[in-house]
Amino acid sequence: MKISNYRKFNPVILVIACISFLSGFAANPAMSAEAHSSHAQPDKGAGTLIIRRIPNLGNNVTVVVYVDGASVANISYGRTYRGSLSAGRHVLSVRALAPRWRTSLDRTVDVQSGQTYNFTAVGDGSGNLILQ
């Protein structure tokens, strides 16, 4: 009976897979305490967007931040999103990656250059996640 030589390569493949997986987390800006948006690069005509996530949404609930329909960051427990938005009208929304939170209500913001816009992702008491 012939024994396969693949067994000695299994640990090497496992190590490579783990390094690849973990490097994806290191490159993800949402994993840091202050995530920065790639949606709009900071410039003189930009405003700052800060979204906090309240703790009582749940320890294992991740909040996804959308700007103009595009996902820009994930906010996990104890984290805050901080990014730049170009001046003008933008539609913001948040969605929780948990079945408890049904929907999100969109929020329209008219961003002005140099201004900071602070929001908190909270539940509205009826199962919806909103920006307050």
Which are the contacts of 3, defined by CB distance < 8 A and separation ≥ 6? none
**Cα–Cα dist 6/74, whole Å:** 38
DSSP output for 8-35: GGHHHHHHHHHHHHHHHHHH-GGGSSEE
Rg (CA), the chain: 20
Sequence spans of domains, the chain? 30-131
What does the pLDDT look like over 91-122, one tens digit per residue? 999 998 887 887 778 999 999 999 999 999 99
pLDDT (tens digit per residue) in 41-80 = 456 789 999 999 998 888 888 999 999 999 999 999 989 9
CATH number of 30-131: 2.60.40.10
| Total-model pTM | 0.66
